[in-house]
Structure 1
Amino acid sequence: MKRKRITAIFLAVCLLLTTAALPVSAEGFPYTWEKDGGGPHCESLLLVNLDTDSVAYAQNPDEKRPMASLTKIMTFIVAYENIPDIENTVITASEAVLDELEGTYSSTADIMAGEKLTGLQLLYLLMVPSANDAALLLANYVNELHAAGALPSSSAESGEEGSGVDSTQPDGGSGETGENAAGTENSDSGLEAGSEEDTNAGGEGAAEWDSGQDPTDYSNTYFVKLMNEKAEELGCENTHFMNPHGLYHPDHYATARDLYRITRYALGLPNFAQITGTPAYDLAATNMREEQTFYSTNKMFNNYEDNDGNNYFYTYTTGIKTGSLNEAGYCIVSSATADGYTYICVAMGSPMLDSEGNDIDYHGEMADSRELFRWALLNLEKKTVAAQGDLLGEVKLEYAYRKDTLQLVAGDNASALLPKAVNKSSVTIQCNVPESVQAPIKKGEQVGTATLSYADEVIATIPLVASESVERSPVITIFTQGKSLFTAPWFLIVMAVILVLVVVYIILMLLYRKKQKQLRRVKRFRDM
């Protein structure tokens, strides 16, 4: 008996450990990382099929993290939507604005005070070499337009709620202070967001800047308020901007899911896809420089090995934006298109420093993105899980002649991203319909909805419509309504009351007659 008890306890413990080791039901589809690649390298990953807007893979997609120069995707949006005729507008670089980056060791395009550049040129410099000076110049120009009355007040300025301000510090994003307060982006055009020499950037005890402007905190400016308002408009609940370039600040963060929302929106703007898909940008000669070529910080465009023998090239890469800081790690929002499919991958938090504070030159964010792209394009496909007219269910039908149920069919086609090996029969269908419907009803009339799921994840919701027209039967209607009348509680109560009254009346009548009969007997007796 004791041995059986010990065996039972041992099996229970094994079951508990096995259950604990099972992966938690996650969004998207399971993926086993390649052993040689050593992935995943990133803290947060989100792979989304843009054609279906469905998640293919997710890892901590809602964890708030520093976003470094991924910030500039939103900077592009706000600048493009608020600078009239931005492609042709000429902006003169202000020395005061450029001086605000002094000492930050930022990635810049070496824009000079007095240099004249069009808004389109600044957008290219913003996104291709990730130039912080281009970000500040665009933001400053929008601020000047607002100050001159050319742009309306933001909702935050007008006292409206929902300005998007949230002072919550990003999870795991406190970063380092003191030395090594910002990271580097290895590119031909310089450092992307900051460098190891940028001590205490935006942290406590930050150095005094000559311009008097904290280069990490522009939260009170019109442009940054617009950034936060736009984030809120796009449904980004876990994103907050403090500046237009991405230098580290504890209140400057986003999640992989929010960055996907922002990027998806940006792809709908003119020039965004073209600019972010440019491996090398030739800046035409300006009033202060000769023609110059700037190279993208996205190494997935480049088919060559770096000094450490790493090659991050992926032939189907189409964009979009990189970012790097010690606090943020290496980050990228990348896109790839092949065989009619387009994917966006947001990768955040591949480490730039090892446990001893030494530089890590391996771009895990690009390696992870490339591996996920390859897997998705080889193993996932868009499947039609329900075609318009497919019989999906039925519902009880009332007031129809010799017909008790109405068949329901799919009102639309439904497609979903699924593994190629998955059969249509693996998709479960749940019909959401009322208990019954009443004739008359027309063919194609919506009755309810059908929810299609795979592996406990909802993949589509489509309308359920009547498969045919059904007329109402007058006889059945009268009979049914009469039946419902006679069985209604209120009717039964009324009838019960009437019945009681009738019984009481009968009893009283009997008593009355009995009394009358007795009176007649008494009268007859007296007459005698």
Structure 2
Amino acid sequence: MRIRRILFFIMAIALLILSPTTVRAEEAEIQEKTEEELAADEEKERADSYAAEADTNKLSGWPQGPKVYADSAVVMDMESGAVLFEKNGDKQHFPASITKLLTTLIALENAELTDTMKFTEDSISFLQYDDAQIGMQAGEELNLDDALHAVLLASANEVSHAVAENVGVQGLGGNYDTFIQKMNERAAELGCTNSHWMNANGLHDDQHYTTAHDMALIASAVYQQEEFRKIMGTLEYKIGPTNRTKEDRVFQQNHKMLWPENYYYYKYCTGGKTGYTDQAKTTLVTMADNGKMHLAAVVLYDYGVDAYTDTKAMFDYVFDNFEKVPVKDKETSRDIGHFNNPESYVVLPKGEDFSQLKKNITLTEDGIRNGKITYTCKGQNVGSASVVLTEDGYNKLSGKASVAEKENTESKQKNISEDNSSELKDNRKPKLFAATGTAVIFLILLGTVLLYRGKKKGQYRK
């Protein structure tokens, strides 16, 4: 027994001695890699991403698009909604500062440019030393116009927060959280299905994510706002003295494709938004107009300036290989009364036959004949348009029988009823004649019998 106790004591001491060594060994294993090792890992990741094929390149008969370094990428026609290039379009990623496009959309839809944005401590206190900002102070005030220039050009995180706070109160009758809720609701209205928004500036949050396809929808929506396009055309902007400072604040556009003297300048570029966090890597949204098509390109989880070369390659590919095809004179469906926009179009690979497209018509408002027709080519969305349905088309989609069908059915039912009534009357006549004949025969027989019996009795009396 004593020997067992001694052995147990020795083993316990040994464990105590060895434990720190084990912990130190584990710590050594999980030590951060050297900068060279990290760079090598990223380069391998980048090469693997470049080698990954775009989804649209897998479509039979679809023009072959470029390879891109971004893990996710989409090019969308902003008016028709046609998706012309796609690589992992529905894969979720962190958006970083391209979030501010949705922030801008909500602000422009729910506030006036002259509205005052007052900065609270909450809109300042979260900032870290390397966060993009323009040095606003608690209690300082800007109008919304100045604020949105700071949001979109300088990517100012504290200004984005202040915009959400103030519009949440003034425009939405709530608070900052109300604004964030509105971001999620509006994104859903636009057709976003794989996004979730937790803040107005895009600083990292595990529950704050989107997809390239969803961001293209948001980019298309905000591009419709005239004030947004005006801000995007500004390369440098100055905010004058405020109630808290006498100094001017001057900042520039961060999107390299908008600067004529920049290596990455793209002559068709009309706007966009940059983004970066360690978790999101480089994100970029870019709008372009070559005079024929208005495109939005999105790249997520990209690698620095590769975002610009990827975007240029995708734009060139679409402009070179696709064309707009008006649908008004080509659509033959009897369910469609007319297109709300006579200039509605699809975007097709050059030379593609419109008659080969598949289409899907849906109702957009219950009880009203408004609908939406979506066209697909080789399984890919190539555009949609708002339409007014014919009465029969509406009834068909809403599950109701058409008026003509109803009248025809009612007429048939009436004819059948009349025929049945006539048949019933005709059937009754032979039955009536048969009954009458039987009664007459019966009376004749009865009379004969009675007459015979009367004669017999007369004979007996005689």
Q: If the length of structure 2 is used for normalisation, what is the TM-score?
A: 0.66
Please give the alpha-carbon distance, in whole angstroms, between the structure 2 residues aligned to 1:464 and 1:228. 31
| Structure 2 partner of 1:523 | 450
How far residue 317 of structure 1 moved from its aligned partner, in angstroms, is 0.8
| Structure 1 partner of 2:432 | 505
Give the greater-gyration-radius structure (CA).
2
Report sequence identity in percent.
23
Task: Give the 3 Å change call, closer, same or farther, for CA 295–449 of structure 1 in structure 2.
Answer: closer
Give the alignment partner of residue 102 of structure 1, picking from 116, 120, 128: 128
Please give the alpha-carbon distance, in whole angstroms, between the structure 2 residues aligned to 1:151 and 1:64. 30
Aligned amino acid, residue 227 of structure 2: N
Give the alignment partner of residue 378 of structure 1, picking from 293, 315, 320: 320
Please give the alpha-carbon distance, in whole angstroms, between the structure 2 residues aligned to 1:486 and 1:136. 70
Please give the alpha-carbon distance, in whole angstroms, between the structure 1 residues aligned to 2:325 and 2:250. 44
Give the alignment partner of residue 131 of structure 1, picking from 145, 156, 160: 156
Please give the alpha-carbon distance, in whole angstroms, between the structure 1 residues aligned to 2:232 and 2:150. 10
How far residue 343 of structure 1 moved from its aligned partner, in angstroms, is 0.9
Task: Give the 3 Å change call, closer, same or farther, for CA 27–134 of structure 1 in structure 2.
Answer: farther
Query: As a proportion of its length, which structure holds more helix?
Result: 2
Give the alignment partner of residue 76 of structure 1, picking from 81, 93, 104: 104
| Structure 2 partner of 1:420 | 350
Asked if the contact 2:372/2:384 (under 8 Å) is kept, the reply is no
Asked if the contact 1:43/1:60 (under 8 Å) is kept, the reply is yes
| Structure 2 partner of 1:67 | 95
* 1:124-150 CA-partner distances (Å, limit 9, x unpaired): 12111211122233334446xx3xxx5
Q: Does residue 120 of the first structure (1) align with residue 145 of the second (2)? A: yes
Aligned amino acid, residue 271 of structure 2: G
Please give the alpha-carbon distance, in whole angstroms, between the structure 1 residues aligned to 2:278 and 2:326. 44
| Structure 1 partner of 2:236 | 280
Q: Secondary structure at the match of 1:271?
A: helix
Aligned amino acid, residue 422 of structure 1: E
Asked if the contact 1:68/1:247 (under 8 Å) is kept, the reply is yes
After superposition, residues 125-274 of structure 1 pair within 5 angstroms as 125-142=150-167, 146=169, 153-154=173-174, 221-274=177-230
Please give the alpha-carbon distance, in whole angstroms, between the structure 2 residues aligned to 1:250 and 1:482. 61
How far residue 382 of structure 1 moved from its aligned partner, in angstroms, is 1.6
* 1:12-68 CA-partner distances (Å, limit 9, x unpaired): xxxxxxxxx99789899934233xxxx232233232212333332333333332211
Please give the alpha-carbon distance, in whole angstroms, between the structure 1 residues aligned to 2:451 and 2:389. 85
Q: Does residue 294 of the first structure (1) align with residue 294 of the second (2)? A: no
Please give the alpha-carbon distance, in whole angstroms, between the structure 2 residues aligned to 1:223 and 1:366. 31
Asked if the contact 1:65/1:328 (under 8 Å) is kept, the reply is yes
How far residue 485 of structure 1 moved from its aligned partner, in angstroms, is 6.6
Asked if the contact 1:427/1:452 (under 8 Å) is kept, the reply is yes
What 5-or-longer segments of structure 1 have no aligned partner?
Answer: 1-20, 158-219, 306-310, 353-361, 395-407, 433-445, 467-479
Q: Secondary structure at the match of 1:221?
A: helix
Please give the alpha-carbon distance, in whole angstroms, between the structure 2 residues aligned to 1:112 and 1:290. 13
| Structure 1 partner of 2:29 | none
Task: Give the 3 Å change call, closer, same or farther, for CA 74–28 of structure 1 in structure 2.
Answer: farther
How far residue 249 of structure 1 moved from its aligned partner, in angstroms, is 0.8
Q: Secondary structure at the match of 2:448?
A: helix
What 5-or-longer segments of structure 2 have no aligned partner?
Answer: 1-52, 363-368, 392-407, 456-462
* 1:213-236 CA-partner distances (Å, limit 9, x unpaired): xxxxxxx73443343344345454
Give the alignment partner of residue 77 of structure 2, picking from 49, 54, 67: 49
| Structure 2 partner of 1:344 | 296
RMSD: 4.3
Task: Give the 3 Å change call, closer, same or farther, for CA 386–280 of structure 1 in structure 2.
Answer: same
Please give the alpha-carbon distance, in whole angstroms, between the structure 2 residues aligned to 1:451 and 1:101. 44
Task: Give the 3 Å change call, closer, same or farther, for CA 346–134 of structure 1 in structure 2.
Answer: same
| Structure 1 partner of 2:50 | none
| Structure 2 partner of 1:471 | none
Q: Secondary structure at the match of 1:110?
A: coil
Aligned amino acid, residue 52 of structure 1: S
Asked if the contact 1:281/1:293 (under 8 Å) is kept, the reply is yes
Asked if the contact 1:330/1:365 (under 8 Å) is kept, the reply is yes
| Structure 1 partner of 2:34 | none
Please give the alpha-carbon distance, in whole angstroms, between the structure 2 residues aligned to 1:130 and 1:301. 15
Q: Secondary structure at the match of 1:522?
A: helix
For this pair of structures, how many residues does the alignment match?
Answer: 374
| Structure 2 partner of 1:398 | none
Please give the alpha-carbon distance, in whole angstroms, between the structure 2 residues aligned to 1:391 and 1:333. 33
| Structure 2 partner of 1:322 | 274
